[in-house]
Amino acid sequence: GCFLEPAAAIEHALQLVAQGADLLDIGAESTRPGASPTNAEEQTARVVPVIEAVAAQTSVPISIDTSDAQVMRAALAAGAGMINDVRALRAEGALEAAAESAAVVCLMHMQGLPETMQQQADYADVVAEVGAYLQQRVQYCVAAGIAAERLLADPGFGFGKNLAHNTALMQQLRRCAQASGRPLLVGVSRKRMI
């Protein structure tokens, strides 16, 4: 919510590129614990002008951070080349939107929904369960026509996980990567665990 105005978001994105960013992840819906959903129209209105402007001024890859198929399509048309989905393409139409594109896709594990996920953090073996989920989502995407080479996996630090869960995942990232069969993209900036 710090860069809701397009001009501020564009300026910030270009500043990040100047500081050495290798990838820009642009989204218009908060998925922090307790966050409420933002509709597709609002997300699209927020991200498309930013993606168009940033894509015109840099060659750094742009990722759209959304679970909504309509937003995915609009962002990819605007210049994004990656989909970063906290729901791992489980929302209506998301799998089809990704499959019909050439975009790289990051599939994230989340237990519950942002509104309630921290109230439901419960695992018998968090590493095994997250790894199995990511493996299942990769297989599902490949069966839907998305080449495995286009897929990344994210164990979802802080998404329906407490400090002990996050620590176990961090200590056993290799096990998650082996289970998913894909490279991991790990997001830990601004997480309470840090």
Tens digits of pLDDT across the chain (194 residues): 678 788 999 999 999 999 999 999 999 887 777 777 888 899 999 999 999 999 999 999 999 999 999 999 999 999 999 999 999 999 999 999 999 999 999 999 988 776 666 777 889 999 999 999 999 999 999 999 999 999 999 999 988 899 999 999 999 999 999 999 999 999 887 777 77
User: Can you list the alpha helix ranges (DSSP code H) found in 24-125?
Assistant: 40-57, 69-78, 94-99
Task: Name residues whose C-beta falls within 8 Å of residue 193's C-beta, 6 or more positions apart in sequence.
Answer: 157, 158, 163, 166, 167, 170
* 172 backbone dihedrals φ, ψ, rounded to 5°: -125, 40
**DSSP letters spanning 7-52:** HHHHHHHHHHHHTT-S-EEEESS--STTPPP--HHHHHHHHHHHHH
pTM exceeds 0.85, yes or no? yes
The answer to whether the Cα torsion of 179, 110, 63, 168 is positive or negative is negative
